[in-house]
Chain A
Amino acid sequence: MATDNQHDAALALHRFGFGPRGDGITRLATDPRGALLAELDRPDGALIDDADLLDTGEAARAVFDFRQERKAVRFAQRAAQPPAGNANEAANGDKPRNPGPALPQQIYLAEAKARFERALEAETGLLERLVWFWSNHFCVSADKVRPYAGAFEREAIRPHVLGRFSDMLLAVESHPAMLVYLDNARSIGPESVAGRNQQKGLNENLAREIMELHTLGVRSGYSQADVTNFAKVITGWTMFPPRNPERGGEFTFNPRMHQPGVQTVAGRSYAGTGFDQGAAVLHDLARSPATATHIATKFARHFVADEPPPKLVEALETSFLRSDGSLKALARTLIEAPEAWSAPRSKLKSPGEWLISATRATGVAVPDARPIIGALNMLGQPLWRPPAPKGFDDVSAAWLDGLAQRLEIADQFGRRLNRPADPKELVEAALGPLAAPETREAVARAESRPQAVALLLMSAEFQRR
């Protein structure tokens, strides 16, 4: 039935994508499921190929040079400063012009722009939603690794969102951004060459979070000894110092920092063969049933409900185990599961999801990443800056209190729209059959077009998916 298809198309866009653009609901209505599944057949569809964006190594070296240069300028200025007393004269001389944001911030802004453009331009947004999900699962914080946060997502997350979990895991845990964020870059095996020479040693932060957050999940049976031993296994996983002109900022395995010998992790022993030892532990962690449960639950919670239907979690878990962690199969299982469509729309969109879908629905032009970054800060979900390695919360309760800020932003959307479309048409395009009669009526009777837009973006149907 045509109306059912309209309904499913609207649901598909809000629940699995970033909401409709233009008459997206109608475009999708011929075959909503088929359209989503077709997106999964574009293995490279999530890649960002932009020659202007720096890879992690380039960014590290550029930032190093930038800081050296600034230091040199400051040094020269201080040397040239006239003795005290003439300070006023000097201050009236040629003032340095405002140089704009420093390089790490410029890189962050360029990466943010590329990410937002992808989400705004995508037809359904399914692949981008997958990127956002995995990027939050394996989060780093730009507060610690500002120039690498965007490159991390492009290099370690995007290539694998339709690939294999174990490949994404290896790419993530050996990425300099993660190694710096969770302190492994300086962790040294106590009995390694470097450990015996210096008063330095182990840091178990990354090892713990890999087991607790990235793979097995908390309370899944591993012990403190497993954490410590695993931390020893991944000693030496670090990066070339940024001052290295050829390879600075790139991953390297440093055997001088690596704890020698066999280690036992989660009941298995791993021989001391350098980098391969850590890769082998990750390989096994990726295939553990506990990991399948952990991932399946988070995946279903993200897309469907805070308390996801057990049948759906089970289906995802089975898919994950049978397909050897194929993330394409995982997404396909989700789209094909009846529970993923029949669950009530109770989940509050995260600030980022809401903001992108509001921008798509209103067609507001975003020439610059800064307004979106500012709005995300205001809504409590600053870009690539989660409060902790666990990432941003993925339940509605965490975001309910931001409702008043959403209203401020929705109000701004309304006021800034140059030529707002007819409100009735806007509701139809943004929500289609999902719109409640009360919402249609409230929007239609709004006292102004800006108010109509604010009410639409704030409506329960637009905020819940």
Chain B
Amino acid sequence: MAINLHAPSRRELLLSSGVLFAWTCLPKLARAEGRDPRLLVIVLRGALDGLAAVAPVGDPAWKQLRGDKALGLDSPSPALPLDSFFALNAAMPNLHRMYRAGQATIVHAVASPYRERSHFDGQDVLESGLMRPGSADSGWLNRALAGLDSAGRVNPNGREAFAVGPVTPLVVRGAAPVMSWTPPHLPPPSDETVMRLLDLYRHTDPVLARVLEERMDLAAIAHAGGMDRPEKPQAPAQGARPLPGAAQRKYFADSAGAAASFLGRADGPRIGALSFDGWDTHQDEGVADGRLAILLGALDGALGAVESGMGAAWKDTVVAVMTEFGRTARINGTAGTDHGTATVALLAGGALKGGRIIADWPGLRDGDLYQQRDLKPTTDLRAVLKGVLRDHLRADEQALANVVFPDSAGVKPMAGLVG
């Protein structure tokens, strides 16, 4: 049998969660300033343990809190120092390099307005931009796009539809036209079949007609860029054993690299989103050499792939990495962590005024913790996102306060993140 059933195909991996979504218009106001900004949003589903990604090694309570699971500068795989107080998980050398080059900013003790501990509600709030979970039918990124003045489609001569990707995440759902893409592997249906179907939908089902119509620009771009050729599976080298997490690394890097090679093109979309699953580390978290280290390493590889895939456009890029909430400050009974509250948000990209950690540090003593169990949130994630949307894309501040993140006038956009 030709198929290796144990190693999911690239396509299957892309389809399982990391699908790219992209907007194909040019932000007009930023263009008028001679900039051509790119934004890539990465949602980490399952709740990232922020303390394990960026450890407060200078906090005297830190070692006490996590014991031998506390990352430190003197651990077997020493954490990478960021400043005199924080250090980055050693699995993330790319992010560390970007940070030192002023191209990455880390926000700590940050959280969305959500204060319960359900993943699904937490992701709802993170992606919808609303104060409360439930019944949202659009995401903040889509509403931000809908509010931007467009300087025209990136590919005005492109056909009106075609691109693929089976599940639409909430953050990009909504009125602004959004397309999704994954590389095809079956021979495509003939144009004739597509046109007939489109004609049938126009007469019988406007929603399906719209979906099919919206699917062509990205496919055209992918075709022009040679990205729709199926990959040949490579035979593993004789005797080579896959590294732990090799599939995960490849999947993250492939998804992010594909996103970047779209966003980096002159005729490509400017704004995209993708998501990575697997951060729900209840058991055997493996901060230094296990599961979480592998995931963080894969995320780091993805950031590296974005940097190289963007090419010259990296200088105009912001990548924003976020998760629905953090995890318990203490290790639980099964060497993992349960659902918590505050965590980190990671920003990377050449457009940033980076090399900084932004944290109003709440402390880690029992009395400092939120409900005596979680890192206490001191920064509202919406302030960070509003800062990026306003200063990078020139989104309107009123719209940010009322439409993109409704009822958030009290949460001021964080100034000075880009520039």
Contact = CB atoms under 8 A, between A and B. Distances in A.
Among A203, A224, A454, which residue has the most Cβ atoms of chain B within 10 A? A203
Interface in B266-291: 277, 280, 282-283
Contacts of A21: none
A204 B118 contact: no
Contacts of A190: 333
A203 B333 contact: yes
A404 B192 contact: no
B197 to A, nearest CB: 5
B167 A380 contact: yes
Contact of A402 (B17, B119, B167, B282): B167
A100 B137 contact: no
A105 interface: yes
A183 B204 contact: no
Interface in A439-465: 439, 442, 446-447, 451, 454-455, 458-461, 463-464
Contact of B173 (A100, A213, A397, A455): A397
B1 interface: yes
Nearest to A190: B333
A400 B168 contact: yes
A212 B194 CA distance: 43
Contact of B282 (A205, A438, A451): A205
B1 A100 contact: yes
A256 to B, nearest CB: 14
Nearest to A189: B333
B333 A400 contact: no
Contact of B338 (A205, A403, A408): A205
Contacts of A447: 192
Nearest to A182: B282
A455 B200 contact: yes
B165 interface: yes
A387 B45 contact: yes
A202 B332 contact: yes
Contacts of B180: 401
Contacts of B45: 387-388
Nearest to A207: B338
B117 A200 contact: no
B189 interface: yes
Contacts of B334: 183, 186-188, 200-201, 203
A208 B283 CA distance: 15
Among B188, B197, B336, B339, which residue has the most Cβ atoms of chain A within 10 A? B197
Nearest to A393: B167
A195 interface: yes
B269 to A, nearest CB: 15
A419 interface: no
B136 to A, nearest CB: 11
A220 B12 CA distance: 36
Contacts of B118: 208, 212, 218
Contacts of A204: 332, 338-339
A308 interface: no
A439 B207 CA distance: 16
A436 B5 CA distance: 41
Contacts of A385: 16
B167 A202 contact: no
Interface string A378-405: 1111100101111001000111111111
Given A397-B168, A404-B215, A455 B193 contact: yes
Contacts of A387: 16-17, 45, 277
Nearest to B67: A199
A400 B211 contact: yes
B204 A91 contact: no
Contact of B189 (A187, A407, A438): A407
B133 interface: yes
B11 A378 contact: yes
A125 B371 CA distance: 49
A155 interface: no
B238 interface: yes
A454 B6 contact: no
Q: Is the contact region of chain B dominated by helix, strand, or loop, or is it mixed?
A: loop
Given A190-B333, A224-B371, A380-B15, A208 B167 contact: no
B193 A411 contact: yes
Among B118, B184, B280, B334, which residue has the most Cβ atoms of chain A within 10 A? B334
Contact of A442 (B186, B196, B208): B196
A459 B200 contact: yes
A30 interface: no
A219 interface: yes
A397 B8 CA distance: 26
B166 A405 contact: yes
A208 B117 CA distance: 9
B232 interface: no
Contact of B332 (A203, A399, A405): A203
B200 A195 contact: no
A33 B280 CA distance: 44
Contacts of B371: 224
A260 interface: no
Contacts of A212: 118, 120
A455 to B, nearest CB: 6
Contacts of A85: none
A33 to B, nearest CB: 27
B333 A188 contact: yes
A404 B204 contact: no
Nearest to B184: A408
A411 B167 contact: no
Nearest to A186: B334
A377 B189 contact: no
A351 interface: yes
B203 A438 contact: yes
B361 interface: no
A412 to B, nearest CB: 6
B164 interface: yes
B163 interface: yes
Among A98, A186, A370, A401, which residue has the most Cβ atoms of chain B within 10 A? A401
B283 A186 contact: yes
B360 interface: no
A403 B211 contact: yes
B120 A201 contact: no
Among A101, A403, A438, A463, which residue has the most Cβ atoms of chain B within 10 A? A403
A219 B338 contact: no
Contacts of B381: none
B12 A377 contact: yes
A237 B8 CA distance: 33
A429 to B, nearest CB: 19
A399 B193 contact: no
Contacts of A205: 280, 282-283, 338
B253 to A, nearest CB: 20
B335 to A, nearest CB: 8
Contacts of A438: 200, 203-204
Interface string A216-235: 00110000100100000000
A421 interface: no
28 contacts: A91-B238, A98-B1, A101-B6, A183-B283, A188-B333, A190-B333, A201-B333, A208-B117, A224-B371, A377-B12, A377-B16, A380-B166, A387-B16, A387-B45, A388-B46, A397-B137, A401-B211, A402-B165, A403-B212, A407-B193, A411-B189, A411-B193, A436-B203, A446-B196, A451-B196, A454-B189, A458-B197, A460-B208
Given A378-B11, A442-B196, A451-B196, 18 more contacts: A101-B5, A105-B6, A188-B333, A190-B333, A203-B336, A219-B134, A224-B117, A227-B117, A378-B12, A380-B16, A397-B137, A397-B168, A401-B168, A407-B194, A411-B189, A436-B204, A439-B204, A455-B196
